[in-house]
Amino acid sequence: MPSSTWTPDALASNAISLRARCWRVVEAQSQISTMKLTDTLAEQAALENLIEQSKAKVPVECEHLSYLLFTPFRYIPYPFDSRFRRAGAADGVFYASESPETAIAEAAFYRLLFYAESPDTPWPANAGEYTAFAAEIATDKALDLTVPPLVQDRAIWTHPTDYTATLDLAEAVRAAAIDVIRYQSVRDPRSRANLAVLACRAFAANDAVDRQTWHLFFSRAGVRAACESPARSIPFGPDAFAADPRINSLRWER
């Protein structure tokens, strides 16, 4: 079945149950930033509250979740296309990975994409600190693009830059009331799985259930990622993401 004919009914008939822990990476800077601007914990709490009041309203169906989980559903309109969310879309997507290492690969890629689009920006002198956090997912309405029959369209689901097919698919998936899409990571060198959570009802816990601290160091030699606990490191050389033409043309000497 060509991708253009994946109707909501056809997708609903292929829905599966999914119970999984997934990982997402965020910069560990928000609390540090406000701490620098205040003298006491009370002042910092007041500033955090003012900042919170200035932000977009959290969707009602997501209000029971912590900010780590509801943030991807909060801001509309969406400014640009991502794999399963169109520019201007009001519906959120919580992108995550089945392993923290895959989530780190995704984070490293998108940071490199910033440098590819800003060739005169020097590499940072110090490693950046990031938090990988885990969320629990439980749904009876998931779609797995890595197994038959949908894996037959793997080539278009995993295109590095053209999201036309996956954006069309996402619209049909939402029409079928499916909560989660499981798909192959294009950025992970080991091609492990990602999850696109489309609905807040898919979260089985209201807050993160685990956290890890990672540091990413960028240089002309690539990216080095290191986790504090459990201790481990991952190197991404200049060729790690070369399948993407935007990274392939990145100027590593800065």
Question: Each residue of 175-211: pLDDT tens digit?
Answer: 999 999 999 999 999 999 999 999 999 999 999 999 9
Compute CA 87 distance to the chain's CA centroid, rounded to the nearest angstrom: 16
Check: CB of residue 174 under 8 Å from CB of residue 198.
Answer: yes
| Percent of the chain at pLDDT exceeding 90 | 82
Read off the amino acid at residue 10.
A
Q: The pTM is what?
A: 0.91
Residue 66's alpha-carbon distances to 8, 62, 129, in angstroms, are 31, 9, 21
Tokens 């990672």 belong to residue: 214
Best CA proximity match to 132, nearest among 193, 214, 194, 228: 214
Q: Judge whether residue 120 has pLDDT over 90.
A: yes
d(CA 121, CA 119): 6
Judged by DSSP in three states, 176 sits in: coil
- Domain residue spans of the chain: 3-29+60-248
Question: Each residue of 122-176: pLDDT tens digit?
Answer: 999 999 999 999 999 999 999 999 999 999 999 999 999 999 999 999 999 999 9
With cut-offs at 50, 70 and 90, classify the pLDDT of residue 56: confident
Residue 173, phi then psi, degrees to nearest 5: -65, -45
Higher pLDDT, 48 or 56: 56
Question: Each residue of 8-34: pLDDT tens digit?
Answer: 999 999 999 999 999 999 987 655 666
